[in-house]
Structure 1
Amino acid sequence: MSAGTPHKAGFEETAIALILGLMTMITFVNVVMRYVFNSGLIWGLEVTLILFAWLVIFGISYGVKITAHLGVDAITNLLSPRARRSVALIVGVICIVYSFLLLKGAWDYWAPYAALDRTSGRWFPTGFEKTRDQAWYITDQVPMLDFLRFLEPLINQGETYDKLPRVIPYAILPVGAALLLWRFIQATIRVWRGQADGLIVSHEVEDEIEHIKDHQWEE
């Protein structure tokens, strides 16, 4: 990307920005209400915890996307470029398989809350198996939002929700796992095409040391 070219925010960037904004707003309002009006948002803490969990899970795939995860490359740097690329491709395949297994586990955990069936098979899905409906589970304090009432006839047999169903906050599990799988696939393709020589190795420590050295020389 050339200098001056605007960066187009991706899905994770937009989601992370929105989540941070909502967390800040809810926390600020809660503090003001507590210390000024002796009141508070009874659901504020639970919503903040849910948003924080979403933030972390979005951050995992975002870290893969921008190669911000820490890694150790002391050994791979000793290899030839061709060998380093081969190792990176092997690692990429391992990460893809791991992400796929994570996606299966995430779906199997979330599916009952959406009145859906878990996948069969211990490691890889071989189909779907009959699963006990758990769509009636709700959050502790978060009120039900009216625009989500369409879920009641779909997954809760027409019964009304007095609190937000857990299927909503737990949806980040399969979404986050799918994003992680997609980002690892993209990263591996970049290595295959020769556009990168690694997956998630970050040199932010070395970069920061160089920045400090440069700053000292300027002084």
Structure 2
Amino acid sequence: MQLLNRLLNRFEEVVIGSAILIVSLLILVNVVLRYLFGTGINWTEEMVRFLMILVTFVGASICVRQGSHISVDFLFNLLKGKAKKWLTLCIYLICVIFTASMAWYSLEIIQQNMRFIQKAPALQIPMYIPYLILPLGLFLCTIRYIQEIYYIFRPGNKPSKEEAL
């Protein structure tokens, strides 16, 4: 489990770091080109949009890992011991079902899109390529929720907050 955790951490960090770097460079280059030469690269806005979607969905997986998703914890804070543990387990199981089913249905949408070959307007790439971001992010979230369920039953194996960051 620790090896999987390290591999996922590294993958998420590299993907998000690279995407943010590319977004920053594309925006910088486009701004310079527009102000100095009166022209820009026509596909940068679309590429930046796709990369920001990638950052959002991979970032959602990191939020699961760090426990930083938005939550209403009124009931959770009232509970103690086993009741708190069971509520957490139920929440994570619901999240696993939701993210796994959304990943599955997004794959169906991608399959439909592959048949009709819709293309991105500026980049002229098949739209199923950027659509792959959705099942990737949801699959990562599903894995992270399964890890959290594992850590409920084996709390000694859970990485510390510093390791999770």
- TM-score, normalised via structure 1 length: 0.64
* Structure 1 unpaired stretches of 5+: 1-6, 115-132, 143-162, 197-219
Structure 2 equivalent of residue 139 of structure 1: 120
Give the 3-state SS of the residue equivalent to 1:191 in structure 2. helix
- Whether 1:67 and 2:67 are equivalent positions in the alignment is yes
- Whether 1:193 and 2:144 are equivalent positions in the alignment is no
Structure 2 equivalent of residue 170 of structure 1: 131
Question: 1:94-105 counterparts in 2 under 5 A?
Answer: 94-105=94-105
Calculate percent identity across the aligned residue pairs.
27
Structure 2 equivalent of residue 24 of structure 1: 24
Structure 1 stretches of at least 4 aligned residues deviating more than 3 Å after TM superposition:
none
- Which structure carries more helix by proportion? 2
Structure 1 equivalent of residue 76 of structure 2: 76
Q: Distance in 2 between matches of 1:85 and 1:15?
A: 33
* Alpha-carbon distance change, 106 to 52 in structure 1, aligned in 2, over 3 angstroms: same
Work out the number of aligned pairs and report it: 152
Alignment RMSD (CA, Å) = 2.0
Structure 1 equivalent of residue 39 of structure 2: 39
> Would you say the 8 A contact 1:138–1:164 is kept in 2?
yes
Offset from partner CA, 1:109-144 (integer Å, 9 cap, x none): 112233xxxxxxxxxxxxxxxxxx12x2211011xx
> Would you say the 8 A contact 1:89–1:192 is kept in 2?
no
Give the 3-state SS of the residue equivalent to 2:67 in structure 1. coil
Q: Which has the larger radius of gyration?
A: 1
Structure 1 equivalent of residue 11 of structure 2: 11
Instruction: Tell me the CA shift for residue 195 of structure 1.
Output: 4.7
Instruction: Tell me the CA shift for residue 24 of structure 1.
Output: 0.3
* Structure 2 unpaired stretches of 5+: 1-5, 158-165
Q: Distance in 2 between matches of 1:56 and 1:76?
A: 27
Structure 2 counterpart of 1:137, which letter? Q
Q: Distance in 2 between matches of 1:50 and 1:42?
A: 14
Structure 2 counterpart of 1:31, which letter? V
Structure 2 counterpart of 1:182, which letter? I
Q: Distance in 2 between matches of 1:56 and 1:83?
A: 32
Structure 2 equivalent of residue 50 of structure 1: 50
> Would you say the 8 A contact 1:12–1:59 is kept in 2?
yes
Q: Distance in 1 between matches of 2:84 and 2:150?
A: 15
Give the 3-state SS of the residue equivalent to 2:74 in structure 1. coil
Offset from partner CA, 1:51-75 (integer Å, 9 cap, x none): 1111111111111012111223232
Structure 1 equivalent of residue 163 of structure 2: none
